[in-house]
Structures are given as C-alpha cells and as structure tokens.
Amino acid sequence: MTVGSKVQSTLISLQSIEATLSSLALKTKEEEASAAFHQGALKVRTIIQEVEKRKGEIEFQEPQYQPQ
C-alpha cells in the first residue's frame, strides 16, 4: 500500500467519523450531548481539511503517489 493510498484510506475513515458524529448530533434529544457531537464533527472536519491539504502536497511532490 502506497503512502497515497494510506492517506486516501484515512480520509475515507475520517469522513465516516464526521458523518456519524453529525448524525448523532441530529438524532440525540439531549442538548448537551448534541452540542458535543456537533463540536466533534467540526473538529474532525478541520482535520479532514488538513489531511486533504497534505495529500495534495504529497501528490504534487511525489508523482508516483497520484492515482493512476
């Protein structure tokens, strides 16, 4: 598994986590829990953006990691 594919796999996992947290935020009736899930989703979104940025840098610097 190349670095590029590992980063892509990580992104997919993070997106799944974000979706789950967002879903829980909407489904829960407890306001404090909903807010916590929402904050968690926002933090994961920030991480996703950073990993996407880094993935772009890796692909630019190392052409062999670009999808074929």
How many separate domains does the chain show?
A: 1
Question: pLDDT-based confidence at 65, cuts 50/70/90?
Answer: low
> In terms of residue numbers, what domain contains 43?
3-60
Closest CA to 22 of 13, 11, 32, 35: 35
Query: Does any domain span residue 42?
Result: yes
Q: 40 phi and psi, to 5 degrees? A: -60, -45
Query: Does any domain span residue 68?
Result: no
pTM for the model? 0.85
Helical spans, DSSP H, in the chain: 3-27, 31-61
Query: Does any domain span residue 40?
Result: yes
User: Are the C-beta atoms of residues 48 and 15 closer than 8 Å to each other?
Assistant: yes
Query: Does any domain span residue 65?
Result: no
Say what the pLDDT of residue 17 is. 98
The mean pLDDT of the chain is: 91
Alpha-carbon distance of 53 to 14, in angstroms, equals 14
Query: Does any domain span residue 66?
Result: no
